[in-house]
A and B are shown apart, each in its own frame.
Chain A
Amino acid sequence: MKSLSKTLFLILFLFQTAQAIEVIDILGGKANELAVAVIPFSDDDIDNEKNQIHNVIKSDLSRSGFFRIIKTEGVKSLPTNSDQVDYTFWSGLKAELLVIGFVEKNDQQIKVTYNLVDVFKEKLIISTEYIGSLKQARQIGHQISNVIYEKITGTPGVFHTKIAYVQKVNNKKFHLNVSDMDGFNAKSVVISNEPIISTRWSPDGEKIAYVSFEQKKPVIFVQNLKTGDRKLVANFKGNNSSPAWSPDSKKLAIVLTYNAFSQIYIMDVNGGNVQRLMRSPSIDTEPVWSPDGKSIYFVSDRGGGPQIYSIDLASEQTRRVTFEGKYNVSPRLSPDGKLLTFITNDNGSYKVVVQNLMSNQVMRLTKGKNDEAPVFSPNGHMILYTSKESGEATVLKTVSLNGFKQLFVDTGSLSNQEATWSPFNF
């Protein structure tokens, strides 16, 4: 356990200072993953195997990149509570943590009891119960994963959060769907005959801004998720696109063209008080607000190819942020504002990268070849993006900053793209 806490300390230190990205790269692979065995929860009553609580926990912990799941198939005596744990056996399997639990069913109610056990210290770390309906089995699994994740990493988990994305159906219908962060429970919020792009969840969680082509040109709508209302907030001459929420959810940075090149404006969420942010002789697009609200990062072709710049809103001083490569687009900031993710064109292959804004070190997170639209999880530990193999439909994937664990987001459908992630509290 001593070496374990050291490793953990190192990982957390790296995340919190956000300086030593290169070190994570060197550790790489499985070196910094904790080995965890998730014992089946005797929840066979839950009809779909994927919805069984232990499988939800396994999937969550694995996706985070902090945990390596130890297989329990073939193990004869699986414990259902911490008293039954054979520590010698589990340390022999090199398990560092055990998740043990059981489900008691009473009509449509389930009571889930679970324990998190430290194998090396032979100690019970957490023991809790959850009660809910059978339908809430997945949510209970996500809550358990969140508690375990926060206990081990010191950072709240995001397994209960939602994502929204655009699903292309036979290239004829375009659905704006909201689902759990792992793709389950997808529901359509908007269905259109014309493309939808650039979905952006408001920081207060209540709305999603997006670009629709339903007026035969790009215009910006804001969908209220609570009331179901939607409002056309920008329909100026030319294109209206790339909405970006201010941290207080009261303003949108948008891109307008009139009869000229893409330029960035700021307006109130209801569409009023439109102000031009700056004038540039070339394309300015894809604005994104820094979490402190003091600056806006954006893409500009002012230097030739597209690069990422930032403008300080008080001084109106602009500076270039990316220097490596000839094509860098789709910037998004981590919740602490210290990391920038974007897409870089690396010899014809479009990859997700992350740049430390203090050291300006750039780290590649994916191999390409057609990755797009990266967005940070609300805790900054994962990035959701669109991936596409040659000749195939687009899919959503997550990649963890810790260990670069890449996992498919199984929404039950293909041709998903242009995703956004809800805030913590939705």
Chain B
Amino acid sequence: MNKLFYAGIAFALLAGCSSTPINDANAPSAGAGAGAGAGASASASAANGELSLDKLRTDSLLTQRSIYFDFDKFEVKPEYLDVVNAHAQYAANHPAAKMTLKGHADYRGSHEHNLSLGQKRAVSVKDVMNTSGANDSQIETVSYGEEEANQNCQGKECDQDRRVDISYEVE
């Protein structure tokens, strides 16, 4: 009983940190996963407390948190597949783990369209993770568009801004 109680708290904490849907009645059936509902079943194993934080902090692949993209491109480049798969594997092995994939775009063009481009990159990373066993309910894809980009980058400098950052909720 105690164990269950703590599991509930752990879930509440995890859920509290992610987006708090105030009116999430209309989640699309395709691609979006079941949101908080699926999270509840995943939380049962959170009781074990086995998030292996040490691994996240020390593993040579899991400590790599940024995936870079070419100009106007959205496919995960082959050189990043090891990193993306390592995170997917970690998520598959730790159903309580929740991560955010935060997409970015360079500053040129409209703020809103860049938000959509950053999201497209985040979804692209998530899709790879899905095929490696990470559950959609463990992942939230969001975008900062150009809001954290270098507003005066030129040429190669702008490469830094076309990326997806991986972060975990427990960190």
Contact = CB atoms under 8 A, between A and B. Distances in A.
Interface of A: 195, 197-198, 213, 215-219, 232, 234-239, 241-242, 255, 257-263, 265, 271-272, 274-276, 283, 285-286, 299, 301, 306, 327, 329-330, 343, 345, 350, 370, 372-373, 388, 390-391, 394, 417-418
26 contacts: A195-B144, A197-B112, A198-B112, A217-B102, A235-B19, A236-B21, A236-B24, A237-B18, A237-B19, A237-B27, A241-B115, A242-B115, A258-B32, A258-B35, A259-B139, A259-B141, A271-B22, A271-B23, A272-B23, A276-B26, A283-B116, A283-B119, A370-B108, A372-B111, A373-B110, A394-B151
B91 interface: no
A262 B20 contact: no
Contacts of A391: 152
Given A329-B109, A330-B110, A330-B112, A213 B147 contact: yes
B109 A259 contact: no
A276 B120 contact: no
Given A235-B19, A259-B123, A370-B108, A390 B25 contact: no
A213 B113 contact: no
Contact of B119 (A261, A275, A418): A261
Contacts of A217: 19, 100, 102, 140, 142-144
Given A238-B142, A391-B152, A257 B19 contact: no
Nearest to A343: B110
Nearest to B148: A195
A25 B148 CA distance: 39
B136 interface: yes
Contacts of B145: 197, 218
Nearest to B31: A260
Interface of B: 18-28, 30-33, 35, 100, 102, 108-113, 115-117, 119-120, 123, 126, 136, 139-145, 147, 151-152
B23 A238 contact: no
B115 A218 contact: yes
Nearest to A348: B108
A152 to B, nearest CB: 35
A62 to B, nearest CB: 29
Contacts of B28: 258, 260, 263, 276
Given A239-B119, A259-B139, A370-B108, 10 more contacts: A195-B144, A217-B140, A218-B143, A235-B23, A236-B23, A255-B112, A255-B116, A276-B28, A372-B109, A390-B152
B59 to A, nearest CB: 25
Contacts of B24: 236-237
B126 A262 contact: no
Nearest to B143: A239
Contacts of B119: 238-239, 257, 261-262, 283
Contact of A238 (B109, B113, B140): B140
Nearest to B154: A390
A271 B26 CA distance: 12
Contacts of B110: 286, 299, 329-330, 343, 372-373
A285 B116 CA distance: 7
B109 A283 contact: no
Contacts of A283: 113, 116-117, 119-120
Contact of B111 (A219, A261, A418): A418
Closest A-B pairs by Cβ, 3 of them: A258-B32, A217-B142, A262-B116
Contacts of B152: 390-391
A390 B151 CA distance: 9
A236 B113 contact: no
Given A213-B147, A237-B19, A329-B110, A261 B116 contact: yes
A370 B27 CA distance: 36
A257 B112 CA distance: 13
Contacts of A232: 22
A261 B113 CA distance: 11
A391 B154 CA distance: 10
